[in-house]
Chain A
Amino acid sequence: MKIHEYQAKKILKNYEIPIQDGYTFTSIEKAEETIKKVEKDFNTTDFVVKAQIHAGGRGKGGGVKYSPNFDSALENARNILGMNLITPQTGKNGKLVNKVFITEAYDISKEYYVAITLDREKKKDVFMVSTEGGVNIEEVAKHTPEKITKIWVNPNTNLEKMDAEKLAVSLGFNDELKAEAVKIFIKLYKCYTEMDCTILEINPLIKSDSNEIIALDAKLNFDSNALYRHQDIISMRDLSEEDPMEIEANKFNLNYIKLDGNVGCMVNGAGLAMATMDIIKLSGGEPANFLDVGGAANAETIKNGFKIILKDKNVKAVLINIFGGIVRCDRVANGVVEAVNELGLKVPVVVRLEGTNAIEAKDILSKSNVKIIPADNFHDAALKVVKEVLK
């Protein structure tokens, strides 16, 4: 799960990590009052106006503006709220800015990159820092990997002081600043583990002209499997940032991701669902979605799956590919018949059922009056559905 920068900073503040602070507003009438409040509470005369969306690269798209005085902050706030922000991570359609964060401004002496995430290979957390802050870290990793220092943290322990010192030294901190950085790194790791983060990223962490270390940005992602122990994080969820069709699919316990093609697909199991998308493409079609109906699919699940797929106006044909294990194919077949009778069949549907009770299922489909196109195997199913789309 993702949250906004201002929410992530609130969490860091709870861990006593120094942040660039401020207040948010969502309606333009509140802009003036918010800027004045930041001016007073943080004792500042210049500001940064920051769009709050769940995507990085906001500065590149014009969603982050330094504002040297009140008037310029107000002007930037007016421009950013309600803008359609396009960044390298939003896709070409961009994202509507519904919330703006007004913060105090710092004079930056040096920018750093700091992140903690899971190293799946080593099965440990990895703490990464770099002197190349404020830039695209993937480029740094690609071209000058030696500029990234990594420390792997032993699970079941905290970040050791010795390791935190290594990180601090690699960034060139000495004396008092080194001690301060060590404290910050230890707290960041504590926050990362206690809050069940999958990523904690500060880009940039800065040294200010007055020699303070400050988190200027913050990105926290959370392990959705662990949210049951973090009610506070659940309450930070911003549904306006998520795809409405994916939210609806979630309500039905369906795992749906919309894509750009025209062949809708409904499959049980994530691996087979991806393989189905692949074989559609290899057969000359383009998948319209990823949809995993899960291990407990029944007539109701299939019906809901149909509803979601058919809401996508690009869909010209549907492929249902079910390999029954616990899922019984006869129940799936009943679901297909019910769904088609209830929703009406606007596009051709190719059905491939294999595994538990597949023979009974084929019988149900052939005796029903619904016009589906049966397929004998995986390959046959892909060819048939692509043929329908190309007609």
Chain B
Amino acid sequence: MSILINKNSKIIVQGITGSEGSFHTQQMLNYGTNIVAGVTPGKGGQTVFEKIPVFDSVKDAKNETKANASIIFVPPKFAADAIIESAKQKINTIVCISEGIPVRDMIKAKQIVDDNNVNLIGPNCPGIITVDECKLGIMPGFIAKKGNIGVISKSGTLTYEAIDQLVKNNLGQTTALGIGGDPIIGTDMRKALQLFEDDDETKGIVLIGEIGGTMEIEAAKWAKDNATKPIVGFIAGQTAPPGRRMGHAGAIISGGDETAIAKMKIMKECGIHVCESPSNIGKKMKEVIEE
């Protein structure tokens, strides 16, 4: 078991003929990911990587290959439309790597994703990896090892850091999920926690957040009432200067406190094992899982 994707997932790469798309398609194929089709409007009919057919639309690709997951590498101007296209075709898991999508475009795309009841990961994220089965993203696959820990993170390289620390403490992973750092994302922390909670193979969960927004707090409150598995948490940005990213109106909605310190306090109160230092994530998980 794992969450969202596994070795049987049939994958479409949207933007497969672009430079990013083709580079990472090769990397994903090397990892053993089951890529069944590519989509680039106007380039339908070609074959790339010797065996992967390219289609003009997600609709055509899905009809021909019965694909159920997709990964998006298209420029930010067009990325929201790419998400909407897959959502309308009921592609079950959609991963959007693209960075720099306007917020207004994402609000629209998010609504359509929800209306069609599909899972979106990202945008602006490293993607998702189910160890030794399927990599739907840009993370270095070789650092992960098969095991029982689920990883959820807003950040790319900090996810790698967490995976590396787990491995050095002899803890492998089921699935690692980079949910993205944009203001509007598909799968949030609460939903990701629930997916790992429902996965029998996952025995512990690492949850890495950042300053800004209140997603970590929502997730922690959900975990307090629902999670049975140990959760190790960290929030990046304890030293970040206030107000650099967020305007004043933004802070009003939540009642003001989106700082790392405030989030860590609430997480602790909700029973999450919070690390003060980002270098203690692996060690802390080792301690709590052996209890």
A269 to B140, CA, bound (A): 14
Contacts of A364 in B (CB 8 A): none
- Whether, in the assembled complex, B237 has its beta carbon less than 8 Å from a beta carbon of chain A, the answer is yes
Given A226-B102, A271-B181, A325-B126: A124 and B248 within 8 A (CB)? no
- Report whether B215 and A225 are in contact in the complex, using a CB–CB cutoff of 8 Å: no
A128 at the interface (CB under 8 A from B): yes
* A226 to B210 Cα, complex, angstroms: 24
A303 to B244 alpha-carbon distance, docked (Å): 26
CB < 8 Å: which of B236, B244, B251, B276 contacts A271? B236
A295 to B243, CA, bound (A): 25
Q: CB distance A278 to B139 under 8 Å?
A: no
Q: Interface code B245-272, partner A: CB below 8 Å = 1, 0 otherwise?
A: 0011111111110001000000000000
Q: Are A121 and B101 in contact (CB under 8 A)?
A: no
Q: Which listed segment binds A: B55-63, B150-158, B196-204, B224-232? A: B150-158
Interface residues of A in 229-277 (CB under 8 A from B): 229, 257, 259, 267-272, 274-277
**Is A118 among interface residues, defined by CB-CB distance under 8 A?**
yes
The CA of A150 and the CA of B249, in the complex, are separated in Å by 12
Which chain B positions have C-beta within 8 A of A223?
102-104
Contact yes or no, A269 B156, CB < 8 A: yes
- Bound together, the chains give a CA A211 to CA B250 distance in angstroms of 31
Q: In the bound complex, what is the Cα–Cα distance between A281 and B238 (angstroms)?
A: 9
A29 contacts the other chain (Cβ, under 8 Å)? no
In the bound complex, residues from chain A placing their C-beta under 8 Å from that of B243 are 89
Which A residue sits closest to B107, measured CB to CB?
A155
- Establish whether residues B213 and A121, one from each chain, have CB atoms under 8 Å apart when the complex forms: yes
Kindly state whether residue A162 has any CB partner on chain B within 8 Å: no
Cα A199 to Cα B241 with chains together (Å): 20
A277 touching B102 by the CB < 8 A rule? no
Chain B interface: which of A32-40, A67-75, A140-148, A333-341? A140-148
CB of A132 within 8 A of chain B?
Answer: no
**Which of B103, B143, B157, B276 has the most C-beta atoms of chain A within 10 angstroms of its own C-beta?**
B157
A257 touches B244 (CB 8 A): yes
Which residues on B sit within 8 Å (CB–CB) of A382?
279
A36 to B121, CA, bound (A): 58
Q: Is B133 an interface residue (CB 8 A)?
A: no
Q: Which of B159, B234, B252 is close to A138, meaning CB atoms less than 8 Å apart?
A: B252
Residue of B nearest to A294 (CB): B99
Nearest-Cβ distance from residue B48 to partner chain A, whole angstroms: 20
Chain B CB within 10 Å, residue with most, of A257, A267, A275, A379: A275
Let me know if B277 is at the binding interface, CB within 8 A. Answer: yes
| CB within 8 Å for A123 and B107 given contacts A271-B181, A325-B157 | yes
Q: B247 near A126 (CB under 8 angstroms)?
A: no
Cα separation A339 to B77 with both chains bound (whole Å): 35
Residues of A contacting B77 with CB < 8 Å? 228
Alpha-carbon distance A116/B108, docked complex (angstroms): 17
Min distance, Cβ A86 to any Cβ of chain B, angstroms: 16
Our pick among A115, A156, A325 for the contact of B138 (Cβ within 8 Å) is A325
Known: A117-B250, A142-B256, A225-B76. A323 touches B103 (CB 8 A): no
Known: A138-B248, A271-B158. A279 touches B184 (CB 8 A): no
Cα–Cα, bound, A275→B278 (Å): 6
Which residue of the partner chain, among A145, A279, A326, contacts B279 with CB atoms under 8 Å?
A279
Q: Does B110 belong to the interface (CB within 8 Å)? A: yes
**Mostly helix, strand, loop or mixed at chain A's interface?**
mixed
Shortest CB distance B281–A (Å): 10
Q: Complex: how many Å from CA A281 to CA B164?
A: 22
The answer to whether A354 touches B164, judged by C-beta atoms less than 8 angstroms apart, is yes
Is A104 an interface residue, CB under 8 A from the partner?
no
- Tell me whether B161 is interfacial, beta carbon within 8 Å: yes
A277-297 near B? 1/0 per residue, CB < 8 Å? 111111000010010000100
Q: Please indicate the chain B residues that have their CB under 8 angstroms from the CB of A117 in the complex.
A: 247, 249-250, 253
A191 at the interface (CB under 8 A from B): no
Asked if A378 and B102 make an inter-chain contact with CB atoms under 8 angstroms apart, the answer reads no
Contact with B along A32-75 (1 / 0, CB 8 A): 00000000000000000000000010000000000000000000
* A269–B155 touching, CB < 8 Å: yes
Out of A257, A287, A323, name the residue touching B161 (CB < 8 Å).
A323
Q: A92: CB under 8 A from chain B?
A: no
CB distance from A276 to the nearest CB of B (A): 8
Any B CB within 8 A of the CB of A149: no
Nearest CB of chain A from residue B98's CB, rounded to whole Å: 10
Q: How far is the CA of A148 from the CA of B103 in the complex (A)?
A: 25
Given contacts A128-B252, A272-B158, A279-B278, contact A221 B215 (CB under 8 A): no
B74 to chain A, nearest CB (A): 14
The smallest beta-carbon distance between A190 and chain B, in angstroms, is: 13
Query: Is B253 within 8 A of A278, CB to CB?
Result: no
Is there contact, CB below 8 Å, between A155 and B239?
Answer: no
Q: Which residues on B sit within 8 Å (CB–CB) of A124? A: 107
Inter-chain contact B157/A377, CB cutoff 8 Å: no
Q: Chain A residues with Cβ under 8 A from B260's Cβ?
A: 278
A272 to B157, CA, bound (A): 6
Minimum CB–CB distance from A112 to chain B (whole Å) comes to 15
Besides the known contacts A272-B158, A277-B238, 11 further A-B residue pairs in the complex with CB atoms under 8 A apart: A89-B243, A137-B248, A196-B104, A269-B155, A270-B181, A275-B234, A277-B237, A279-B277, A290-B240, A325-B156, A378-B165
A-B contact pairs, 11 of them (CB 8 A): A120-B184, A120-B253, A148-B252, A225-B76, A225-B100, A269-B158, A271-B158, A275-B234, A278-B239, A323-B161, A326-B140
Which residues of B come within 8 Å of A, CB atoms?
A: 76-77, 100-105, 107-108, 110-111, 126, 138-140, 143, 153-161, 164-165, 181, 183-184, 208, 210-211, 213-215, 218, 234, 236-241, 243-244, 247-256, 260, 276-279
Task: Identify the A interface with B (CB < 8 A).
Answer: 56, 89, 115-121, 123-126, 128, 137-138, 141-142, 145, 148, 150, 155-156, 193, 196, 198-199, 201, 221, 223, 225-226, 228-229, 257, 259, 267-272, 274-282, 287, 290, 295, 323-326, 354-356, 377-379, 382
A-B interface, 9 closest residue pairs, ranked by CB to CB distance from nearest:
A271-B155, A269-B157, A226-B102, A271-B158, A379-B279, A275-B278, A274-B236, A272-B157, A155-B107
